[in-house]
Amino acid sequence: MLRLEGVEVRLGEFRLTADLAVSRGALCAVIGPSGSGKSTLLNTIAGFLAPEAGRVTWGDADLTDLAPGARPVSVIFQDQNLFPHLTVAENVGLGLRPTLNLSADDRAQVEAALGRVGLAGLGQRRPAALSGGQQSRVALARMLLMARPVVLLDEPFSALGPALKAEMLDLVAELARETGATCLIITHEPGDARRIASHVILVDDGRAAPPVETAALFADPPEALRRYLG
Amino acid sequence: MSARPVLEAQHRAGAAAAALVLALTLGTLAAVALRAEAPAALGMADWAAVRFTVTQAVLSATLSCLLAIPVARALARRRFPGRGLLVTLLGAPFILPVIVAVLGLLAVFGRAGLVSQGLAFLGLPPVDIYGLHGVVLAHVFFNLPLATRLILQGWLAIPSERFRLAATLGLGPAEIARILERPMLRDALPGAFAVIFLVCLTSFAVALTLGGGPRATTVELAIYQAFTYEFDLGRAALLALVQVALTLLAALFALRAAVPAAMGAGLDRAVERWDAGTAGLRALDTGLLAAVSLFLLLPLGAVAAAGAASLAGLPASVWLATLRSLAVALGSAGLTLMLALPIALLVERLRGRAGSALVEGIGYLTVAASPLVMGTGLFILLFPLADPAALALPVTATVNAAMTLPFALRALIPALREAEASYGRLADSLGIEGGARLRLLILPRLRRALGFSAGIAAAFSMGDLGVIALFANPEIATLPLQLYRLMAAYRMDDALGAALVLMAASLALFWVFDRGGRVNAPA
């Protein structure tokens, strides 16, 4: 279980509070108006922001003081998910070894992960030689290899067209099911949440609400969600 | 901001580099100060040197900036074949050895030069290049291109939409100048002036070759003379303090004027203009650009043409000196990176804390340092320990590396900030730290800036005629010093040949390093 206990994050004037728990293996959409604090929530779980109060825990482990790389968390950002000067295989390999000293076995795993996301044989290319959708797949392949139990996705496919985005969301859901990872994915589109998410965290007015089952939430939207949906 | 573990090793390397810079600047200054006599010892000749230094620097900076305005305007509003080449040519004097340019200017404006020959043809007396006007001419040769590039940056920073708006409002050249161009110049000119003034304050090689005598001696030259001719360490030290006071004042002024970056990118764009289409303005711009091209190319062409003829017969001492200079250049390039990279990393690590600005400030300290002061200080410090002549080459490489440091930091710090801003969080989330971060993120993203820094460090020290003159005995001359000796001995053919070798070596060194940073570098 991923818990945020009495968490308070301050960014200049902005303040976000969160007191919630996400159960293991849930695929949780994070929705809310822009500027409401969705990214702040994810950055706190990822370790890029230190909370002023409260703690972040995974199971029995307190993550609050851990560096981002030391947390059981992998992150897929909105952009800049790949180092442009490294090959696709190297970018994926970083998920196994941050020093990139890859053994033959590691390389085989990289190739297998690339195959799983439909990029077999493209390992030697640079990211610039791939399409936007393919670049997202590289990031997902690395996420697979990192095999961290928590996966955070910050509007990862917002630059893709609707069909491609749906395809990528389905791939995320598939991979999450296969690996049993707990996922939090930020999205602007209620449709995205309905498509793949088991739960929804609504972030509004500086507060992240505990997750609610997706179907139940949209069947009877609270006031804040109604305002957001318009 | 994150709970990232502090990287002790990188901190220490950066702190050590900053400490070395402090030792080279303030440490040598202290060594000099301890040897200095009371201020009363400044004689008439010394005050004359101060006056001359300031006068020529003001004249050089003013002329360079004033002439650069119409040239930059012409470059900003005209598109023609070879424009990119001309912009590149404007970058060349920055890395050109001073002594080569002086030789080229002598070939054009000297007593036996092209201009004097033309005057003789008309029955007029030859021009005399020695003295204040010669020093200023050489400084304008070096700094007019620099000023043009800096001001051109300002012109190209005006959004093209503004010119489009001006065109739809029917504004003519005079209105555009008042509304768009003069405000830009008010911002850009003080910085350009300050940089050039600072450069000219520490002028040594130009004054050594074209000045001299009681009426045209800079403080730097006076330090050298006190040191080598009279071996009066106390007076050299006193003059060194005067020099530092001058440069510090100028540097404070320069800092206030927001010094522009040397690595100007994106100058290959011409702004679409609708107001400058008249035949008169076209002729004006064409004439200006042709005149500047000639002013830059004639001296260099003269060196190349005359030098090529005597290449085959160059004495072995010139080739030996070339090898020595190459070794100094490579050592200086390596040392510059070894100083600049740890300092840049530390500045970035401490970002947001007070220490960051302090470390960065130390890195830029050598802007206000004078190489001869640094050299004098090192001489005083090393004299009891070792034969200074034996250390001449390492000291030359070290002082040049220190002098290049501000340019290297100017290129490295923004590139590092950009790399961390774009990919730092990704690297954090993947746990890429320490050596792996350097290898996988920082060095690849900094390739261009590192190549550029190594390039100017190598070119600067290849062509440096400054510190080496303090230290060297005849057996271990670098190429610029050997060239100066050939000039002093009136062996002009050999001097021109050596100048061609020196020019080619400096430009090639810069090109190789700068190119190395760009080839296959992903965007």
Cβ partners under 8 Å of residue B101, min gap 6: B93, B138, B141, B142, B299, B300
Whether the CB-CB separation of B8 and B326 falls below 8 Å is answered with no
Q: Does B493 touch chain A (CB under 8 A)?
A: no
Backbone angles phi and psi of A5, in degrees to 5: -105, 110
Beta bridge partners of A15: A10
Beta bridge partners of A154: A186
User: Measured between alpha carbons, how far is B124 from B114 in angstroms, rounded to an integer?
Assistant: 13
Q: Does A68 touch chain B (CB under 8 A)?
A: yes
* Closest CB to A99 among B429, B436, B444: B436
User: Measured between alpha carbons, how far is B324 from B393 in angstroms, rounded to an integer?
Assistant: 8
Decide if B431 and A84 are in contact by the 8 Å CB cutoff: no
Tokens of B171: 């504004």
Question: Minimal Cα distance from A86: which residue of B?
Answer: B440
Instruction: Say whether the ipTM exceeds 0.95.
Output: no
Report which DSSP code applies to B265: -
Tokens of B392: 């001449």
Question: Minimal Cα distance from B4: which residue of A?
Answer: A67
Sign for the pseudo-dihedral over CA of B397, B403, B405, B407: negative
Classified as helix, coil or strand, A4 is strand
Taking each helix axis as running N to C, give the angle between helix B279-310 and helix B132-157, from 0 to 180 degrees, rounded to the nearest 10. 130
Whether the CB-CB separation of B448 and B518 falls below 8 Å is answered with yes
Q: pTM score > 0.90 for this model?
A: no
CA distance A196 to chain B (A): 25
Q: Match 């350097």 to its residue by tokens.
A: B438
What local confidence, expressed as pLDDT, does residue B272 receive? 67
CA distance A216 to chain B (A): 34
Q: How many Å separate Cα B447 from the centre of its chain?
A: 21
User: Measured between alpha carbons, how far is B23 from B349 in angstroms, rounded to an integer?
Assistant: 23
* Closest CB to B430 among A84, A98, A126: A98
Decide if B432 and A69 are in contact by the 8 Å CB cutoff: yes
What local confidence, expressed as pLDDT, does residue B521 receive? 59
User: Measured between alpha carbons, how far is A63 from A65 in angstroms, rounded to an integer?
Assistant: 6
User: Measured between alpha carbons, how far is B242 from B223 in angstroms, rounded to an integer?
Assistant: 10
Q: Does A87 touch chain B (CB under 8 A)?
A: no
Q: How many Å separate Cα B201 from the centre of its chain?
A: 12
Cα angle B81, B87, B90 (rounded to 5 degrees) comes to 135
Beta bridge partners of A21: A3
Whether the CB-CB separation of B426 and A139 falls below 8 Å is answered with no
User: Measured between alpha carbons, how far is B129 from B117 in angstroms, rounded to an integer?
Assistant: 14
Whether the CB-CB separation of B476 and B69 falls below 8 Å is answered with no
What local confidence, expressed as pLDDT, does residue A54 receive? 94
Backbone angles phi and psi of A2, in degrees to 5: -95, 125
Question: Minimal Cα distance from A151: which residue of B?
Answer: B429
Q: How many Å separate Cα A96 from the centre of its chain?
A: 18
Beta strand pairing call for A61-62 and A53-58: antiparallel
Report how many Cβ contacts below 8 Å link chain A to chain B. 79
Among candidate residues A154, A152, A207, the one with its CA nearest the CA of residue A8: A207
Burial of B105 (0-12, 13-18, 19+ CB in 10 A): buried
* Closest CB to B3 among A50, A75, A100: A50
Whether the CB-CB separation of B314 and B497 falls below 8 Å is answered with yes
Tokens of B140: 């304008």
What local confidence, expressed as pLDDT, does residue B6 receive? 45
Residues of B in contact with A85 (CB under 8 A): 444-445, 521-522
User: Measured between alpha carbons, how far is B282 from B298 in angstroms, rounded to an integer?
Assistant: 24
What local confidence, expressed as pLDDT, does residue A139 receive? 94
Which residue ranges of chain B lie beneath pLDDT 50?
Answer: 1-6, 262-265, 523
* Closest CB to A98 among B1, B431, B445: B431
Cβ partners under 8 Å of residue B448, min gap 6: B415, B517, B518, B521
Residue-wise pLDDT tens for chain A (230 aa)? 999 999 999 988 899 999 999 999 999 999 998 888 999 999 999 999 999 999 999 999 999 999 898 899 999 998 889 999 999 999 999 999 888 999 999 999 999 999 999 999 999 999 999 998 999 999 999 999 999 999 999 998 888 888 999 999 999 999 999 999 999 999 988 899 999 999 999 999 899 999 999 999 999 898 888 888 88
Whether the CB-CB separation of B403 and B457 falls below 8 Å is answered with no
User: Measured between alpha carbons, how far is A43 from A7 in angstroms, rounded to an integer?
Assistant: 12
CA distance A156 to chain B (A): 13
Long-range interactions of B78-82: CB distance < 8 A, separation 24+: B78/B270, B78/B282, B78/B285, B78/B286, B78/B289, B79/B270
User: Measured between alpha carbons, how far is B257 from B262 in angstroms, rounded to an integer?
Assistant: 15
Beta bridge partners of A75: A152
What is the identity of the amino acid at B152?
Answer: L
CA distance A127 to chain B (A): 10
Decide if A98 and B5 are in contact by the 8 Å CB cutoff: no
Whether the CB-CB separation of B471 and B395 falls below 8 Å is answered with yes
Q: Match 């945020």 to its residue by tokens.
A: A4
Question: Minimal Cα distance from B446: which residue of A?
Answer: A85
DSSP percent split of chain A into helix, strand, coil, nearest 5: 40, 25, 40
Q: Which whole-number Å values give the CA distances from B401 to A71, B21, B243, B405, in the listed order? A: 42, 10, 20, 6
What local confidence, expressed as pLDDT, does residue B268 receive? 61
Question: Minimal Cα distance from B431: which residue of A?
Answer: A69
Q: Does B438 touch chain A (CB under 8 A)?
A: no
Q: How many Å separate Cα B195 from the centre of its chain?
A: 10
User: Measured between alpha carbons, how far is A44 from B226 in angstroms, rounded to an integer?
Assistant: 65
* Closest CB to A84 among B3, B430, B523: B523
